[in-house]
Amino acid sequence: MDINIKTIKEVTVVEIAGEIDANTATGITQIVLPLVQPHCRLLLDMTEVLYMSSAGLRMLLLVYRQASSQEGRMVLVGLSQDIEDTMFITGFLNFFTICKTLDLGLETFPSSGNFSLL
């Protein structure tokens, strides 16, 4: 399991490569969860994820719930057809914004210049 974290256009991008299963989901959670801050803009690039078990689904849901509770936003990018099919069947797609590419995923976040202070 490889994880790379970078910031693009004020969005925290987490690139995950390998398999997300019972052996790796906890480690991923320990790395990703601290990135969830109030009003966070989090993009998980899963283009290189070869397999995801139910432990991976639970990890995604946990991160999503934490981000939502802090008025943050989370986008998933590059899901394989198998993972997308599993998420559709289990109803998980209803929780997430899904994009095919990193560029499309970044476009789903409003630019910080669009916020106004009252």
Q: For the domain that residue 28 is a member of, what is the CATH number? A: 3.30.750.24
Q: By percentage, how much of the chain surpasses pLDDT 70?
A: 94
pLDDT at 117 over 80: no
Q: Is 16 helix (H, G, I), strand (E, B) or coil?
A: strand
- The model's pLDDT over 36-85, given as tens digits with 9 standing for 90+, comes to 999 999 999 999 999 999 999 999 999 999 999 999 999 999 999 999 99
Residue 114 falls within a domain, yes or no?
A: no
| Integer Cα distance of 58 and 54 in angstroms | 6
Range of the domain at 36: 2-108
| Integer Cα distance of 105 and 76 in angstroms | 7
| Integer Cα distance of 39 and 99 in angstroms | 20
Mark residue 39 as left, alpha or beta (left: phi above 0; alpha: psi -120 to 50; beta: remaining). Answer: left
Centre a 10 Å sphere on the Cβ of residue 66 and count the other Cβ atoms it contains. Answer: 19
Entry pTM = 0.89
Q: How many domains does the chain have?
A: 1
Residue 53 falls within a domain, yes or no?
A: yes
Q: Are 85 and 112 in contact (CB under 8 A)?
A: no
Residue 57 falls within a domain, yes or no?
A: yes
Beta bridge partners of residue 45, listed in sequence order: 15, 77
